[in-house]
Amino acid sequence: MKKIAVQVDDLTVAYNYKPVLWDIDLEIPEGVLMAIVGPNGAGKSTLIKAILGILKPIAGSVSIYGKPYEKQRDLVAYVPQKGSVDWDFPTTALDVVMMGTYGSLGWIKRPSQKEKKAALEALEKVGMLPFKNRQISQLSGGQQQRIFLARALVQDASIYFMDEPFQGVDATTEIAIINILKELRKAGKTVIVVHHDLQTVPEYFDWVTFLNVKKIATGPVKDIFNDDNLTKTYGINYKVSIQE
Amino acid sequence: MLGSFAVLRKQSLLGDAISHAALPGIAIAFLITGAKDSNTLLLGALVSGLLGTFWIRGIITKTHLKSDTALGLILSLFFGFGMLLLTFIQKQPNANQAGLDKYLFGQAATLVESDVWLMAIVTGLCLLVLFLFWKEFKILLFDKDYAKTLGFNTKTIDILITSFIVLAIVLGLQTVGVVLMSAMLLAPAAAARQWTNSLSKMVLLAAIFGAFSGVFGTAISASQNNLSTGPVIVIVASVFVVVSFIFSPSRGLLFRQIRFIANRRDLEQQKTLAFMYHIAETHEDISHPHTIKILNNFQGFTRKTLQKLVDKDYVTIDGTMWSLTQKGFEKAANLYNQQHKTDE
């Protein structure tokens, strides 16, 4: 049995009495590349945000490798939705990636050459090194997404949470990103991705969680990614041909 | 300087709300002490400014109201209350009360040396805090949620920034007054944003613009009678903004328009050339003359464009006939192939 990387118990989140997540129990084993799927408003992003403490849950607890999340922050990296920030902010690609080092630096201390080197390496990995001094508003959507990915890579975490990294990126970027995610898994990291495109789930991921306010199912893609669970999650008769 | 942060947080109105919120503080401080010592009054302004700001924050986070609604609400509530107190004070038989309304529109002439020292100290403090927490401020402004996952207490950073904005505003009240203070905060920052894409340069530029507005504004108002300093400073700052909006090389309206016209002209020439190529292609001799009239069938053709092409030696004209030169033919062939490639 593999180690449990992320454990969620009885997690409930509500906005003004309306539950967005209801009593979620979730165990994510170490080293999986997991998709969280579900319809709009199912609480996929909310789940990630609640796990990371960005949103305050009404009830429930989260542990990372058996300890509370607050004590294990260094092991966790987050890639927010691209649309969550103002890309007209006056800063460069390199500068954004450097932000990934701020956590380990802590308060007041400034990034040094060491941090800069790490940021440049991360930019190289996502193929964005030529754009390091580019003002971020002059990057395409796919490039912005890569910058966010690089920022998480700099954190050198064990667990990566990503909120729709494939949203609004072209096919080339999508392939580049998924290759990086697969490399992370190969290196023993755990990657959790909010995902929209059901067609690509079997191709990209080995683990999946179906979510629609409540947890519908979670497990290996080959065991549970079937019409039955899709119908339960999306409420309509869903047929996806799974290629073996 | 601190205005940069307000602008980038899209909370530009915050400055307006804070300065208005400071008014009842001034009035209450006067009522309690009965004296017009500016330090005491500013302390009152600081307290009520902070109070107003954190109410606004509270409203935004606890209710579903948008931030502009919350700002507007607090602004008018505090300002109304402040005005009420001011009129109440004016009815009182206290001779001291005259001149309290200078905080409405500001009166730089009433500044004394100790006020200036206070300003210098607070500015120094702001610089120090800005320098120490630069990284934290930046990440909070850009991506608050992410900052949280890195383990930063975003609430603390937020309160720190906001408190310093309040402090800066309260200090400026004496000079430009409640009504115009937010322009003083925002104008330099908005102007600076036009010139640079780096946060540090933006903050620096905003500080320079702000200082220049102050110096020029004071100089202008001193050279003329009956020109009060505060409004003149604000007008100078606004001139910076207008000039920046028009003349900034990358974001300015002027250069954008020039680039647009230049691009359009280039495209017109290229299209005309491509059209000519199309006709010339049907003849074995590329320099075979054609009437100019035939070009009129082509949309977007102008005599001016033709003249430009002649100037570039791509086309020769003989009476009402034109023909492509060898150079023009090659250029057009290149264009034509390129367009074909992008079409596919």
pLDDT in tens, B116-137: 788 888 888 888 888 888 889 8
Given this model, what pLDDT does residue A192 score? 95
In the block, which residue shows the tokens 């320099």? B287
3-state secondary structure A152-204: HHHCCCCEEEEECCCCCCCHHHHHHHHHHHHHHHHCCCEEEEECCCHHHHHHH
Q: Residue B142: pLDDT above 60?
A: yes
Contact at CB, A99 and B139, closer than 8 angstroms: yes
Q: Which residues pair with A33 in a beta bridge?
A: A191
Lowest mean pLDDT among A39-53, A155-169, A175-189, B54-68: B54-68
Identity of residue B126: C
Among A80-94, B92-106, B278-292, name the one with the lowest average pLDDT: B92-106
Which stretches within B34-133 are classed as H helix? 38-62, 67-91, 102-105, 113-132
Position A218 pLDDT exceeds 90: yes
Residue B115 has pLDDT above 90, yes or no: no
How high is the mean pLDDT of chain B? 80
Chain centroid to CA B94: 43
- Tell me whether the CATH fold assigned to B2-177 matches the one assigned to B263-343: no
CA-based nearest residue to A160, from A139, A178, A142, A136: A178
The answer to whether the Cβ–Cβ distance between B133 and A108 falls below 8 Å is yes
Matching residue, tokens 């001193």: B222
In the predicted structure, residue A191 carries a pLDDT above the cut 90: yes
B148 interfaces chain A, CB cutoff of 8 Å: yes
Q: Are A73 and B150 in contact (CB under 8 A)?
A: yes
Kindly report each contact of residues B58-65 with a partner whose C-beta sits within 8 Å and lies 24 or more positions away, as own/partner.
Answer: B64/A16
Contacts of A98 (CB under 8 A, 6+ apart): A111, A115, A116, A119, A154
Q: Quick check: B289 pLDDT over 90?
A: no
Distance CA A32, CA A46 (A): 21
Q: Are A4 and A32 in contact (CB under 8 A)?
A: no
CB B164 within 8 A of CB B129: yes
* A174 pLDDT tier (thresholds 50, 70, 90): very high
Between vectors from CA A155 to CA A154 and to CA A159, what angle results, nearest 5°? 125
Amino acid B337 reads N
- pLDDT of A151 > 90? The answer is yes
pTM: 0.78
For B256-265, the CB contacts below 8 A with 24+ separation are B265/B305, B265/B308
Second CATH level (architecture) for the domain B2-177: Orthogonal Bundle (1.10)
Minimal Cα distance from A48: which residue of B? B149
The highest-level CATH class for domain B263-343 is mainly alpha
C-alpha distances in Å from residue A207, one per residue of A192, A193, A201, A204, A225: 9, 10, 9, 9, 9
Angle, alpha carbons B308-B312-B313 (nearest 5°): 120
**Cα-Cα end-to-end distance for chain A:** 25
Q: Does A53 contact B at CB distance below 8 Å?
A: yes
Predicted local confidence at residue A88, as pLDDT: 85
Confidence of residue A244 (pLDDT cuts 50, 70, 90): very low
Q: Which residues of B touch A162 (CB under 8 A)?
A: none
Q: What is the 3-state secondary structure (H, E, C) of B263-326?
A: HHHHHHHHHHHHHHHHHHCCCCCCCCCEEHHHHHHCCCCCHHHHHHHHHCCCEEEECCEEEECH
* pLDDT for residue A46: 92
pLDDT band at B344 (very low <50, low <70, confident <90, very high): very low
Tokens 């991921």 sit on residue: A205
Domain chopping of chain B, boundaries: 2-177, 263-343
Q: Say how many residues make up chain B.
A: 344
User: CB–CB of B142 and A92 under 8 A?
Assistant: no
Chain B hits for A115, Cβ within 8 Å: none
Contact between A85 and B133 using a beta-carbon 8 Å cutoff: no
B253 Cβ contact list (under 8 Å, min separation 6): B245, B246
Q: Does B299 touch chain A (CB under 8 A)?
A: no
Integer Cα distance of B287 and B295 in angstroms: 16
Tokens at B27, concatenated: 């009035």
Contact B9, B199 (CB under 8 A): no
B17 within 8 A of B215, measured Cβ to Cβ:
no
pLDDT at B124: 84
* B3 has pLDDT over 60: no
What is the model's pLDDT at position B104? 74
Structure confidence at residue B343 (pLDDT): 43
Q: What is the DSSP letter of A92?
A: B
Closest CA to A215 of A30, A15, A50: A50
Instruction: Please state, in angstroms and rounded to a whole number, the distance separating the CA atoms of residues A166 and A180.
Output: 13
Give the pLDDT of residue A146. Answer: 93
Listed residue (B280, B277, B276, B297) closest to B288, CA to CA: B280
User: Is A90 in contact with B196 (Cβ distance < 8 A)?
Assistant: yes
The pLDDT of residue B285: 72
Q: DSSP assignment, residue B94?
A: -
Is the CB of residue A78 less than 8 Å away from at least one CB of chain B? yes
Residue B110 reports pLDDT greater than 70: no
Q: Do A80 and B196 touch (CB under 8 A)?
A: no
Kind and range of the H or E run holding B214: helix B199-223
Identify the three-state secondary structure at position A127.
coil
The count of other CB atoms within 10 Å of the CB of residue B132 is: 14
**CA A64/CA B301 separation, integer angstroms:** 69
pLDDT bucket at B213, cuts 50 / 70 / 90 = confident
> What are the start-end ranges of the E strands in A33-187?
33-37, 59-64, 67-68, 76-79, 159-163
**CB B211 within 8 Å of CB B205:** no
